[in-house]
Structure 1
Amino acid sequence: MKTASEVLAVALREGIEPGLRRLGFKGSRGLFELPDAEVWRLLGIQKSSGSSSSRIRFTINVMIMDKSVWQEARIGFLKAPVRPNPNHAYGPWGRPQRIGKLLPGGLDHWWEVNDRTSPQRLAAGVLASAESYAVPFLRGGGVTAESPSP
């Protein structure tokens, strides 16, 4: 019998990660970026802290941050990463956006995985949401239907 962790690992390795790469992302281990010379366009897979070996919940976070702003912000942090993590908030410099806010209805969305979850169906659902909502958000500079006009 497979654990939820094993099911998620298969979904990531065989479906989600290759699918994100086909969409233009680079990265692995749940942290991806759409390459851009001036802006970080990031996607992260965040597991819920309430996950267990029999049940895992996870969501997708997206973040857009000007690279020069990030470089300036890093100066005050001794251990700040070279690239921001889309699963962390960085005060006024950067806040991730959960994919649920981009989905119709704008409600928080978490996928649930257990030992009976189909890795193929899970990967297909995650990739469909990423392609339809996360990628347009990241490529469009963070503009959504709910964003105020400039």
Structure 2
Amino acid sequence: MTTAHELYAKGLRDHLAPALRALGLLGWRRTFSLPDGTHWALLGLVEQGGPAGRGGRRGDVVRSEPDGTATAGPVRYTFDLSLVRKADWALAAFPGPRPDPRAVYGIEIWRARIGEVLPVGEDVWWEVLPGPRWRVTLDDSVAAVRHYGLPELLRRVDRDRAGTGETYLGPDALEQVNAVLLAASVARIQRAELVDKELVLTGAWTRADAVARTVLRGVAHGFLSAGDERFGAVRCLDTLGRALWTVDPSTD
């Protein structure tokens, strides 16, 4: 009997990777990128399952067949999406010719699991199981990339290239602020822009991170104390553009 791992390996080689390249992605095996002169727009394949040592992990579920043989459980996979400016990548001097979309470097403009940009808005995994319809899973995941993953990556590239507002800090000044955040183990500010009389800070923060909230409120009050007439409040967004916290002296 052909195992799920064998079907997945065949599907990746003969169907999934060629289909992704047919969409305009460049790459091989498990990491792909859109051709662009200024940005790394990346797609990475994240996997679970399969026998340990062959794409799987120790602790994966193993089933016993009626004849007593052991077979690995299903192979599950999803995609990570990541956007990095090529200039930032070169300046950071991380090893490798390009970022790995499955890794977190702290210089990303944006990153997300593909489920976050699908209509369900939550983590989605595709599962390969032996059977006559095993390729349907691959086709469905390619459709998700085609209709949601790639359009979102392209939209993010265009938005970053055009800019949504006036840049507030230059690279050197922003790095000084980020050094303070790093010392407090808080993710860096990826963008600081002036939008509609507000200073908008974007970074890989979450609403549940109380330390980030406290430290960023302190940073916000520092910005506000400068008395810059171009803004009267500071707003913090996550990398998906969702509002996290606002510091507004007129309402605090």
Match of 2:74 among 39, 44, 55: 55
Contact residue 7 and residue 117 of structure 1 kept, 8 A: no
Quick one: distance in 2 between partners of 1:119 and 1:30? 19
Aligned to 1:36, the other structure's residue is in SS state coil
User: Could you report, residue by residue, the CA deviation over 1:81-135 in whole angstroms, capped at 9, with x for unpaired residues?
Assistant: 2200001111x21263100100113110111122337342122111100001111
Structure 1 or 2, whichever has the larger Rg, is: 2
Contiguous gaps of at least 5 residues in structure 2: 49-56, 62-71, 160-239, 244-252
Identity of aligned residues (%): 34
Deviation, structure 1 residue 30? 1.2
User: Could you report, residue by residue, the CA deviation over 1:3-43 in whole angstroms, capped at 9, with x for unpaired residues?
Assistant: 11111112212221111111101111111111111100110
Residue 82 of structure 1 corresponds to which residue in structure 2?
Answer: 97
Cα RMSD of the aligned pairs, angstroms, is 2.2
TM-score with structure 2 setting the length: 0.52
Quick one: distance in 2 between partners of 1:36 and 1:105? 29
* 2:241 partner letter: S
Q: Does 2:135 align with 1:120? A: yes
TM-score with structure 1 setting the length: 0.84
Name whichever structure is richer in strand by fraction: 2
Q: Mapping of 1:89-108 within 5 angstroms? A: 89-90=104-105, 92-94=106-108, 96-108=111-123
Contact residue 11 and residue 122 of structure 1 kept, 8 A: no
Summarize the Cα distance change of 1:3–1:96 in structure 2 as closer, same or farther, 3 Å threshold. farther
Residue 136 of structure 1 corresponds to which residue in structure 2?
Answer: 151
User: Could you report, residue by residue, the CA deviation over 1:38-61 in whole angstroms, capped at 9, with x for unpaired residues?
Assistant: 100110101135656322111111
Deviation, structure 1 residue 2? 1.2
